[in-house]
Amino acid sequence: MNDLLAEQPWIVSMMLALVGGALVYGWLQTGKKPAAVMGGIAFALIPVAFMVASNWETDREQIEALIYETADAVERNDFERAYQIIGDEKAEAMARQELPQFEFTMAKVNKLRSIVMIEGASPKEADADLSVKVDVSTKRGGVKNIRVVRALQLRFRKEGDRWRVVEYRHSPIAGGPDQFSTP
């Protein structure tokens, strides 16, 4: 219910409008003032639903913002900032081995397919599935500024009030793993 209110204010507003309309219709048919008052309250709650949605940041919204901030850090080749969101030693070691080999001129989230909260996980966990595109060159020479599109799967865990990546995998968008895919 919290996610519905915070992430879907249009749905909540339509429900409030239906309830308000039904109550006003009931008042017009019966003449009972309490129905009119309750209908007016339902209509008055519509802007409140939008105010709540704009001020309430859900876990999904926090994760989405973190994904875009990390893409910005990679695009700027600020790998230390990118490492800060990793909360697992193995995943951080893998990132520290992979990222410095490349120089990025662009790193964008191409499509954020899903952010799924894992029910019953303690602490809270979520899986994100997205595709990214990067313009990249190798620092050892050879490959110069090529555009690469990759599928990226991230596992997040909430540590205190911060979401951190505890596992990640990347692979080609189509087909099986390639020489750059994570095992």
**pLDDT given at position 29:** 93
- Which residues, including other chains, have CB under 8 Å from residue 101's CB and lie 6 or more apart? 138, 139, 140
- pLDDT tens track for 62-75: 999 999 999 999 99
State whether 65 and 35 are in the same domain: no
Range of the domain at 16: 1-55
> Per-residue confidence at 27, pLDDT binned at 50, 70, 90?
very high
State whether 115 and 47 are in the same domain: no
Is position 16 within any domain?
A: yes
Q: Are 135 and 106 in contact (CB under 8 A)?
A: yes
From 55, 72, 101, give the residue that closes a domain: 55
Would you state the structure tokens that stand for residue 131, as one six-digit string?
Answer: 């595709």
State whether 101 and 150 are in the same domain: yes
At residue 181, does pLDDT exceed 60? no
Q: What is the mean pLDDT of residues 140-169?
A: 88
Is position 183 within any domain?
A: no
Q: pLDDT over 70 for what percent of the chain? A: 91
Give the domain CATH number at 133.
Answer: 3.10.450.50
State whether 8 and 72 are in the same domain: no
> Per-residue confidence at 178, pLDDT binned at 50, 70, 90?
low
At residue 81, does pLDDT exceed 90? yes
- Which residues, including other chains, have CB under 8 Å from residue 97's CB and lie 6 or more apart? none
Average pLDDT of the residues of the chain? 88
Is position 137 within any domain?
A: yes
Is position 17 within any domain?
A: yes
From 9, 29, 55, give the residue that closes a domain: 55
Number of domains in the chain: 2
Q: Are 99 and 136 in contact (CB under 8 A)?
A: no
Q: Are strands 102-118 and 125-138 parallel, antiparallel or unpaired?
A: antiparallel
DSSP β-bridge partners for residue 112:
130
Q: Where are the beta strands (DSSP E) in the chain?
A: 102-118, 125-138, 146-159, 162-172
Q: What is the mean pLDDT of residues 3-30?
A: 87
